[in-house]
Amino acid sequence: MRVLHAIAAALMLVARGVSAEVADAGPGGFLVKHEVTVNAAPDAVYKALIDIGSWWNPSHSYSGNAANMSIDARPGGCFCEKLPNGGGVEHMRIVFVAPGQMLRMSGALGPLQTSGLAGGMTWKLTAAPPATRLELTYSVGGYMQGGADKMAGPVDGVLAEQLRRLKSFVETGAPSAPK
C-alpha cells in the first residue's frame, strides 16, 4: 500500500511540473534534488524566493504564520522566523548571494535542528526564456539517532511542496493553485 502511495505522489509531482528525488541517502545523511520551470524571468523568481513569508506553507513553521518568516538575502543574513514574546528561530544562515542567479543557505531545517546535523541548501536560477529553470538541492549530513536517512523522504516531500507553492506564487500571485 505504501508503494502505491509513493507512486501516486511521484506522479502528482510530475503532473505539476516538479521533478523531485532523494538522490542519495545513508545513515550519515542525504541529498534531495528538485527542479521546476517557472513562467517568469529569473529576477522575478528570485524576488519571490526571498519573499518567503508570502509563499511558504505555514504548517511547516514554528509560529503557524508564514508572515513571521523572512530571508535577509546577504552573506551572514538569516532565514528566520519571529515567535511570540520576542522569541525567534534561525532556520538557516545565508552564505552565498547572487541575485537572480543563486541563493545558498547553511543549516538544519525543522526537526533536523534537534540532532547533530548540518545542511547546505542551494537555489539555482537559470534563464530559460521566457521562463526560469529553478533547481533546489539540500545536502544534509552528521549524526542523528536512528540514521539521518529516515528523514530523507519527509524532507523531500516538504521541499517539493514548498517549490510548488513558490512556482504558484510567482505565476498566479497565490502560493497554492485554486482547487
Domains contained in the chain, CATH given = 2-172 (3.30.530.20)
Cα–Cα dist 73/160, whole Å:
22
Instruction: Report the pLDDT value the prediction gives residue 176, as an integer from 0 to 100.
Output: 85
Query: Does the pLDDT at position 158 exceed 80?
Result: yes
Contact 42, 126 (CB under 8 A): yes
Per residue in 65-107, pLDDT (tens digit) is: 999 999 999 999 999 999 999 999 999 999 999 999 999 999 9
pLDDT at 130 over 50: yes
**Of residues 154, 126, 109, the one with CA closest to residue 46:** 126
- The 10s digit of each residue's pLDDT in 3-42 is 323 333 333 333 345 667 899 999 999 999 999 999 999 9
Pick the closest to residue 169 from 91, 66, 31 (CA basis). 66
3-state helix, strand and coil shares in percent for the chain, rounded to the nearest 5: 35, 40, 25
Residue of 3, 33, 2, 40 lying closest to 18 (CA atoms): 33
At residue 19, the pLDDT reads: 64
Does residue 32 contact residue 159 with C-beta atoms inside 8 Å?
Answer: yes
Instruction: Spell out the residues 6+ positions from residue 54 whose beta carbon is closer than 8 angstroms to its own.
Output: 48, 66, 169, 175
Determine the pLDDT at residue 21.
Answer: 86
What's the rounded Cα separation, in Å, for the pair 94 and 81? Answer: 14
Render pLDDT for 134-156 as a digit per residue (tens, 0 to 9): 999 999 999 999 999 999 999 99
d(CA 126, CA 129): 9
Residue 109 pLDDT class (50, 70, 90 cuts)? very high
Record the cell numbers describing residue 60, joined without a space: 511547516
Whole-number pLDDT of residue 1: 35
